[in-house]
Amino acid sequence: MTALALTGTVRLGDLPLQVDLRAEAGERVAVLGPNGAGKSTLLRLLAGLVGLDEGRLELADVVVDEPTTGTRSAPHERRVGWVPQERLLFPHLTVAANVGFGPGATPDRVAGLLDALGLTDLAARRPHECSGGQAQRVALARALATDPALLLLDEPSATLDVESRHLINGVLAGGGSGDDGAPTTLLVTHDPVEAATLADRLVVLEDGVVTQSGSPAEVRSRPRTRYVASLAGLNLLDAEATGTEAVTDDGTRMVLAEPAHGRVHLVVPPAAVALHATRPEGSPRNVWQATVADLQPAFERVRVVLDGPLPVVAEVTPAAVKGLALRVGAEVWAAVKATEVACHPA
């Protein structure tokens, strides 16, 4: 069964959201994108809080929004569970009553979810007596108690403690409530690690359109936009290739190890960008002079943001930073071997 099939357009403010998105039963899909990309609008559309301007939306093989036929199901008529960032728990109800509030929530299902999410001992408490992580678990249990076909999560692990993160991830990964199968899950997150850990598939939304979709491994190995490359910690350059030479959109020539033709994405790992105080000699085939724009400590490495003909990030050791006297505004030579430049069709 196809749990979600959306092809349509909706405009809120200045941003038109034009999305073609499908998800199968039980699939976990993570939606990533920069601020203002349309992620919150997508969740509101699926939940029924806003309607399509044109197109068609099916949930669990049922048409719930289609402007041409006048079809638009109300939020309570859709088999959708939603956990917003604000959680929106009822302050006057106990934890157990909150979980059992929705239509179709049975006592056995409520008890199973309380147990799976470590909430049984908190069942008689009010939300204000719970920690932030506990309250997030209550909100998830309430959404799951209605037996939704589609579960919507908005930043599910934001500000969570370790215990809550572990319990929530376990329920999302395997159901955990005693049911035969977990619902299709669509989670919005800014955390690429969370997305890769929880999701079967990543969908990247930029400026209201899907720019890339695929498994975490596929998206990381073949980023199609600079935003996606930045999520994976990689450099991406758009270029036109002819044989073993490519010219970036900024007009810089790059030597490739293998011939290519037409529009391409050049992907360069930051660790492959070597920095030198003077112009290097020897095997590197791509050499250019750059200016240090920023230094970003990252665990045992330092990410060096370079400004110049190729706007890339290099990754070096703290010892290299000291030895090269790297600082913002310093001039350096950068080099990348042709064999370190991955080339993919655009």
DSSP state of 134: H
**Rounded average pLDDT over 114-139:** 92
Q: Return the sign of the alpha-carbon dihedral for residues 319, 322, 327, 331.
A: negative
- For the chain, residues classed under CATH 2.40.50.100 are 234-345
CA distances 175 to 67, 87, 104, 145, Å, are: 34, 20, 17, 12
Nearest to 33 by CA among 211, 257, 221: 211
Structure tokens at 290: 């750059």
What residues does CATH 3.40.50.300 cover in the chain?
2-226
Q: What integer pLDDT is reported at residue 24 of this predicted model?
A: 92
Task: For 222-266, write each residue's pLDDT tens digit.
Answer: 899 989 998 888 899 999 999 999 999 989 999 999 999 999 999
pLDDT at 176: 44
d(CA 325, CA 35): 35
Report how far residue 337's alpha carbon sits from residue 287's, in angstroms, rounded to the nearest whole number.
9
What is the mean predicted confidence (pLDDT) over 217-221?
88
Query: Residue 320 pLDDT > 50, yes or no?
Result: yes
Burial readout 175-190 (b: 16 or more C-beta within 10 A, e: otherwise): bbbeeeebbbbbbbbe
CATH code of 2-226, in short, is 3.40.50.300
pLDDT at 1 over 80: no
pLDDT classification of 341: cutoffs 50, 70, 90 = very high
For residue 188, the one-letter residue type is V
C-alpha 66: how far from its chain's center?
28
Tokens 């006057």 -> residue: 92
Beta bridge partners of 54: 9
Task: Tell me the whole-structure pTM to 2 decimals.
Answer: 0.78
The pLDDT value recorded for residue 185 is 93
According to CATH, what is the number of the domain 234-345?
2.40.50.100
Give the per-residue pLDDT at 302: 94
Give every CB contact of residue 187 below 8 A, 6+ residues apart in sequence: 28, 29, 30, 31, 152, 153, 154, 156, 172, 194, 195, 198, 199
Task: Give the span between the Cα atoms of 136 and 116, in whole angstroms.
Answer: 14
For the chain, give the percent of residues with pLDDT over 90: 70
The predicted pLDDT at position 181 comes to: 63
In our burial notation (b when 16+ CB lie closer than 10 A, e otherwise), range 316-329 reads beeebbeebebeee
Q: Is the pLDDT of residue 326 over 70?
A: yes
pLDDT tens figures, 105-118: 999 999 999 999 99
Residue 103 has pLDDT above 70, yes or no: yes
Task: HSE, CB side, 13 Å, CA atoms: give it for residue 193.
Answer: 3
Span 69-84, mean pLDDT?
92
pLDDT in tens, 157-201: 765 677 777 787 778 776 544 444 678 999 998 888 778 878 899
